[in-house]
Amino acid sequence: MGLMPMAFGRRNAEWRVEVGTEETTAVLDPAGTPTNRALFVCAHGAGGHMADRGMLALTELFCSRGMDVVRFNFLYREQGSSRPDAMPRLKECISAVALRARREVTPDLLIIGGRSMGGRAASMLAADGFPCDGLLLLAYPLHPAGQPEKLRDAHLAHIKVPVLCLNGTRDSLCRRDLMERALSGLSGAWSMHWLEAADHGFHVLKTSGRSDSDVLEEIGQVSRDWESALVHGTRQ
């Protein structure tokens, strides 16, 4: 998949973003309908980058439903490494990109989040009080694969903005019973949506009776409904 096509004269924009003493690349993909209401700063997963297949598919999905998307490389990916940065550096990168995006686009709503590790870093940034209007998490990695005892949930109670979290029921990094237990004491600002038969990469087995396209369509619809509720000042 390529970038979203131009819509009503709006063009994809590429920025060089300063992150401390370094720089990374960010790309703005405009929504198909230029409402300028919501902007999603979407971070990639540990093994991905801003132009991997999964990121492009999600970008196209969200843009087609009226949301501007900014995707970017974490510094380690920008520098050609496959070894993720430490969490403070990941958070610093998201913060720098999100602040630049806010200045460039001036959206009504700024949503941060992303896939797997990127979403986790965004959630920790939100827990620190970073000014945003919502948090969109895709395949949140509650624990390492095969290590459900190592939960990554200590900061979740400190997130004060509305959250939409989408995970597959076959996600090896997010056991459903453990996630539901972690969220049981949290406020109503959390919306948890389970994608039936999907794994960590949002893929399904042929025997499930579903396709990967079905899963993407579900992600798009649920995300659009949640974003619409934010725009209108309500929560699901």
Determine contact, residues 207/190, Cβ cutoff 8 Å: no
Q: Of the candidates 82, 88, 10, which has an alpha carbon nearest to the alpha carbon of residue 48?
A: 82
- DSSP string of 178-198, one letter each residue: HHHHHHTTS-TTEEEEEETT-
Model confidence over 133-152: pLDDT tens digits? Answer: 999 999 999 999 999 999 99
User: Where does the pLDDT of residue 10 fall: very low under 50, low under 70, confident under 90, or very high at 90 and above?
Assistant: low
Burial class from Cβ neighbours inside 10 Å (0-12, 13-18, 19+) for residue 176 reads: middle
pLDDT value, residue 181: 96
Give the whole-angstrom CA distance, residue 159 versus residue 190: 9
Determine contact, residues 9/39, Cβ cutoff 8 Å: no
Flag whether pLDDT at 20 surpasses 60.
yes
Task: Report the chain's mean pLDDT, rounded to a whole number.
Answer: 92
Give the whole-angstrom CA distance, residue 164 versus residue 227: 9
What CATH number is given for 13-231 in this structure? Answer: 3.40.50.1820
Longest dimension (CA), the chain: 51
Where do the structural domains in the chain lie, given as residue ranges? 13-231
What is the arithmetic mean of pLDDT over 58-63? 96
Backbone φ and ψ for 73, nearest 5 degrees, come out as -95, 135
Give the whole-angstrom CA distance, residue 226 versus residue 183: 18
Flag whether pLDDT at 102 surpasses 70.
yes
What is the arithmetic mean of pLDDT over 20-33? 94
> What long-range pairs does 74-83 form, CB within 8 A, spacing at least 24?
74/24, 74/43, 74/44, 74/118, 75/19, 75/22, 75/24, 77/44, 77/48, 77/49, 77/50, 78/22, 78/23, 78/24, 78/25, 82/47
User: Where does the pLDDT of residue 234 fall: very low under 50, low under 70, confident under 90, or very high at 90 and above?
Assistant: low
